Structures are given as structure tokens and as C-alpha cells.
Amino acid sequence: MGNPADKFDDQTRLELEAAAFRRLLAHLDERKDVQNIDLMNLAGFCRNCLSKWYLAEAGSRDLELDYGAAREIVYGMPYDDWKAKYQSEASGDQKKAFDAEMAKQNH
């Protein structure tokens, strides 16, 4: 059995993937209450990871983009503004869970 997306032509698949990514960014924008540390603890990635992946893909295509600009694309505003408005200090439990998750990933 092949991947169900194989039935779509390349352009259609690209458009669907791009729309899904935009929807993910919109969802994360609507859920500013969900902290990056929560995303990392539960899913192993966060908004910063998305920014780094976006930057890496731009670089692989020789497109000029820096990390700050990639973050602004993902966060919908400059990172420092987002951080000041929406980021809270991680709790001790969040930090412990993060450290445990990072230890698992580094094995």
C-alpha cells in the first residue's frame, strides 16, 4: 500500500501541505497559552523548531533568510515581542519534564 497522498499530483500535494502548515501556524497563534516548553515536553518540537526547519529549508534553496525572520514568520511577530507578551516562566515541573525529554532524545 502506498501513501494516500501519492494519488495527488505534486502541485496539489504541495498546496495541501502548505495549507496544513499555515493552519498549524494559525492554530499555534490561537493557542498562545500553550508554551513552547509544553510543546517540547509533549511533542518533542516547538515554535522555535518550526522556525529552524523553515530556515533550513530556505537555506537548502539558497534563499536569504535569517533565524529572526524565520521566527517572525512562525510567531507572527518579532520573537522578542511574542516572548514579552505571551511567554511565562517555566515551572519546576515543566523544567524537570523538559530535562527528562531531552535526556531521552540524546540517547
2-16, 66-80, 93-107 — which one is most confidently predicted on average? 66-80
**Intra-chain end-to-end CA distance of the chain, in Å:** 32
Q: Is residue 94 within 8 Å of 41, Cβ to Cβ?
A: yes
CA distance linking residue 71 with residue 81, whole number of Å: 11
Q: What pLDDT score does 107 carry?
A: 56
Q: Is residue 42 within 8 Å of 103, Cβ to Cβ?
A: no
CA distance linking residue 38 with residue 23, whole number of Å: 19
Q: Answer yes or no: is pLDDT of 2 > 60.
A: yes
Lowest mean pLDDT among 4-8, 42-46, 47-51, 62-66: 4-8
CA distance linking residue 74 with residue 83, whole number of Å: 13
Q: pLDDT by residue (tens digit) across 13-49?
A: 999 999 999 999 999 999 999 999 999 999 989 999 9
CA angle 73–76–79, rounded 5-degree value: 85
Q: Name the band, by pLDDT with cuts 50, 70 and 90, for residue 74.
A: very high
Could you tell me what percent of the chain has a pLDDT over 70?
98
Q: pLDDT by residue (tens digit) across 88-107?
A: 999 999 989 888 888 887 75
